[in-house]
Amino acid sequence: MTLRQRLALRLYRAVWYPALPFVRDYFRRRGRKDPAYLEHMEERFGQGAPFGATVWVHAVSLGELRSAVPLIRAFLDRGERVLITHLTPAGRRGSEAAFGPEIAAGDVAVRYLPLELAGAWRRFFGNYRPRLGLAMEIEIWPVMIDEARLAGVPLWLANSQIPERSFARARRWLPWIGHPVRGVAGVLAKSRIMAERFRALGAPNVHVVGELRFDQPIPARLTEAAARLLATPEGAVLRGRHVVALASVVEGEDEQYLAAYRLVQERFRAAGRVPPLFIHIPRAPERFGQVGDMLEASGQRVLRRSHAFDADLALADPRLAEADILLGDSLGEMYFYLALSDLAVVGGGYVEKGAHNVIEPLALRKPVLVGPHVWTIEYPGREAEAAGVLRICPTIPDLAQVMGDLLLDPAALAAISGRTESFFADHSGATARSMAILEPLLDTTP
């Protein structure tokens, strides 16, 4: 690093200490909605029960964990012990659910990621002593990267990307303070374009491996539960009624999607058809109650998954046939909702933060619609749109129009589902390509 870059890193490190009261206040505020934010606080300072890990995988939340699962499974298959870190309780709960038997056997441990404090990171590496670290997606923390280097832990960015907006900002600052990716051991990029951007920022050892989410296993328990529901007398009514899943709906979108529901309902009623059942799935669990109350207050007939189904996803409320909206107030059951659906709308696209993962609905061969803000899913969004398996709808009236057009045209839905077969064949295999690069590192790192 240049002198200017070293000074910038020192300033960044120093700012964290006077900012700690504000950081603690942030966790207290989040803890009012989700008390789990206040648990295991010692881990955010590098403390916690020691665990001898050979591989450390950081996945900020639930979405990043899902992309990491195939890679974590591959490491476990070769006998490695894996430490998984998260920033959010949703991610932690996801790991505990996905790797419960491995945690019980002592092969996997789950912790929170330390804050950007040198002492916290030194305690972290002293406690866990990994031989290899992987930060999933776009988790680029300067102190994490620098302390891993100082601890002698090769830290790779895996399944990684630099969205176009982030890249533009990084390029503006690059001549002045450089970019933290210069300090990583290597990058496993999702696409050729992403690899070029990492190289432009100075990252070493950049490889194109593809998107790990194309390799994630589809939970048979959830798809089989959907099939059982459709086979019951109570659930059979859904076979003759269209179902639309609104996946990962974020704050600021609920009212917009509600307006789309009304437009589609009016169109179906005018055509003498039964309107679709909309499955409304908020992304953040702390919003479940608030969103459910809002939907009920709107006059829609709402059932909540927590009341309508038991723990085994068997229907416990026969009013499903009469409902307008099923609120997906549960975690880790997205494939159940998608398996019931004819069509999926992926949330985030109607706010500036951008759309979320589109691969899960495509994995079940569902046509996907998103809003205009797709910079967050540049890959594989561009490729999916070009392949005709994803549609971008600039406005809510556009979304309602496209939903209605597709639902009223079964041949169009079937054609899109057919195209996803070849789309998946063209984009799978990222786990094997990643392991081919990472396994030799474990074999040679002392």
- Span 222-277, pLDDT tens digits: 999 999 999 988 788 887 899 999 999 999 999 999 999 999 999 999 999 999 99
What integer pLDDT is reported at residue 237 of this predicted model? 80
Percentages of the chain per state (helix, strand, coil), in multiples of 5: 55, 15, 30
Query: What are the start-end ranges of the H helices in 129-253?
Result: 142-151, 164-177, 192-200, 220-231
> CA neighbours within 13 Å on the CB side: how many for 298?
19
**pLDDT at residue 347 in the model:** 97
Yes or no: say if 344 and 247 are a contact pair by the CB < 8 Å rule. yes
Whether residue 446 is predicted with pLDDT greater than 80 in this model: the reply is no
Q: Return the CATH number of the domain spanning residue range 3-215+429-444.
A: 3.40.50.11720
Which tokens hold the place of 103? Answer: 């945690």
Average pLDDT of span 396-404:
98
pLDDT of res. 47: 92
CB 397, CB 373: distance < 8 Å? no
Q: Which helix (H) or strand (E) holds 13?
A: helix 3-15
- The span from the CA of 254 to the CA of 275, in Å, is 19
- pLDDT at residue 236, rounded to an integer: 82
* Percentage above 70 pLDDT, the chain: 99
CATH among 3.30.70.100, 3.40.50.2000, 3.30.70.360, 1.20.1250.20 for 220-427? 3.40.50.2000
Positive or negative: CA dihedral 69, 75, 79, 85: negative
User: Bigger pLDDT: 22 or 332?
Assistant: 22
The whole-angstrom separation of Cα 2 and Cα 22 is 31
C-alpha 204/C-alpha 119 separation (Å) is 27
Q: What are the residues whose beta carbons fall under 8 Å from the beta carbon of 316, sequence distance 6 or more?
A: 307, 308, 309, 310
Distance CA(134)–CA(334), nearest Å, equals 25
Q: Name the active-site residue from 39, 42, 43, 64.
A: 64
Report the pLDDT value the prediction gives residue 233, as an integer from 0 to 100.
85
DSSP state of 311: T
Helices (H), 201-333: 220-231, 254-270, 288-297, 305-308
Q: What is the pLDDT confidence band of residue 438, given thresholds at 50, 70 and 90?
A: very high
Q: Residue 367: name the closest of 427, 296, 416 by CA.
A: 416
**Does residue 360 have an active-site annotation?**
no
103-136 pLDDT, tens digit per residue, is: 999 999 999 999 999 999 999 999 999 999 999 9
Average pLDDT in the chain: 93
Averaged pLDDT for residues 202-209: 96
pLDDT cut 90: percent of the chain above it: 81
Summarised one tens digit per residue, pLDDT across range 7-26 is: 888 999 999 999 999 999 99
Q: What is the pLDDT of residues 51-100, one digit of tens each?
A: 999 999 999 998 899 899 999 999 999 999 999 999 999 999 999 999 99
Q: How far is Cα 348 from Cα 371, in angstroms, rounded to an integer? A: 7
- Where, residue-wise, is CATH 3.40.50.2000 in the chain? 220-427
The span from the CA of 260 to the CA of 321, in Å, is: 20
Q: Where are the CATH 3.40.50.11720 domain residues in the chain?
A: 3-215+429-444
Residue 324 CB neighbour total at 10 angstroms:
19
The beta-carbon contacts of 96-102 under 8 Å, at least 24 apart in sequence, are 97/331, 97/332, 98/65, 98/69, 99/72, 102/76
- Per-residue pLDDT of 264-279, as tens digits, reads 999 999 999 999 999 9
Question: What pLDDT is recorded for position 178?
Answer: 84
